[in-house]
Amino acid sequence: MMKHYEALLGEWLTEDPFYERIFQGIRHHRLKASLFSKGNGWLAGIPFAQRAAEILGLEAIWRKSSHASVGKGEEIAQFVGRPQQIVKFENLVIGLISKPSGIATAAQKAQKAAGGKIRLVSGGWKKHPFLIKDLIWDAVAAGGIAHRLVDEPFVYLDKNYVRIFGGISQALQAAASSSSIKVIQLRGEFSPIAEEALEALASGAHILMVDTGSWQDLDQVLTVLRKRRTPRQVKLAFAGGIKLSDIPLLAKKGVDILDIGAAILDAPWLELTYDVIPG
């Protein structure tokens, strides 16, 4: 998980002549710095910050861990090291924790809004740049949100598969030999979305993903499912522009899975402060 991350850290943390010059007279001094939260939230990214401290040679005393709540003014960690180490770490630690903690905080709010009545996922972590995917993945997990539509193995037939095969039934037929759960994305591209839902049900889909963000489309597919619900309990997933405030109503509608993107992944960072302790 951290291999490419550690390689980048190693390059970034190479000796810089500037630090050597400016701290020449006090390079052997031992200093302390403290990391505090400036707001209330949920923490993530700490394993990455821990590893950065180790690579830099700092002694770190962690008061909090990922997957834990933090209050305004609470100390998250304290660090002990030479001036050069302390200053370099400031340029790393806030970025490694602040944004992921903002994501985790939004994920926790989403979970509270769902009240355990609906499965929440945030699959959009895959769309982030490769170099920060692991960090975003950790943040989503720390907030208690799933990364996948279901825990079991599944085949996800999105719009491009449907276009390649020429339709809903053709795409599902191509995947018929797989024993995995079949998820089909419905967008109303080949026929009205209610008709696509009927076609998907007849072709063996296990999960219907309405990925238009349209509540009207969602209601049409819900109507189809209520009329044609099978013993295996075909599930309905919904995605597209979902806000945290939408979650309770969508849960009441009977949606099984919500895939939430921007409302969680674009959440503002949790503000932190990193201060050298005088003395």
pLDDT value of residue 232: 59
Q: Is pLDDT above 70 for 147?
A: yes
Side-chain half-sphere exposure of 227, counting CA atoms within 13 A: 10
Domain 3-101+268-277 has CATH 3.90.1170.20: yes
Domain boundary assignment for the chain: 3-101+268-277, 146-259
Q: Is the dihedral of CA 43, 46, 270, 3 positive or negative?
A: negative
User: Do residues 275 and 33 make contact, with C-beta atoms less than 8 angstroms apart?
Assistant: yes
Distance in angstroms (rounded) separating the CA atoms of residues 40 and 137: 21
65 CB-near residues (< 8 Å, 6+ apart): 43, 46
Q: Which of 254, 265, 239, 233 is nearest to 118 (CA)?
A: 254
Q: Which of 42, 48, 51 is nearest to 134 (CA)?
A: 48
Q: Is pLDDT above 80 for 247?
A: yes
Amino acid at 140: V
Count of helix runs (H) and strand runs (E) in the chain: 11, 12
pLDDT value of residue 132: 81
Q: Is pLDDT above 80 for 51?
A: yes
Domain 146-259: which CATH class? alpha beta
pLDDT value of residue 139: 93
Number of other CB atoms surrounding residue 123 within 10 Å = 18
Q: What are phi and psi of 8, to 5 degrees?
A: -65, -40
- Rounded (10°) CA dihedral 59, 131, 213, 141: -30
Kindly report, residue by residue over 249-263, the tens digit of the pLDDT. Answer: 999 998 999 999 999
Two tokens at 173?
């037929």
Strand 119-121 relative to strand 257-259: parallel, antiparallel, unpaired?
parallel
What's the average model confidence in pLDDT over 116-120? 94
Number of other CB atoms surrounding residue 94 within 10 Å = 19
Question: 138-160 burial by CB neighbour count: b if 16+ within 10 A, else e?
Answer: bbbbbbbbbeebbeeebbbbeee
Q: Is pLDDT above 70 for 120?
A: yes
Q: Is pLDDT above 90 for 177?
A: yes
Q: Is pLDDT above 70 for 230?
A: no
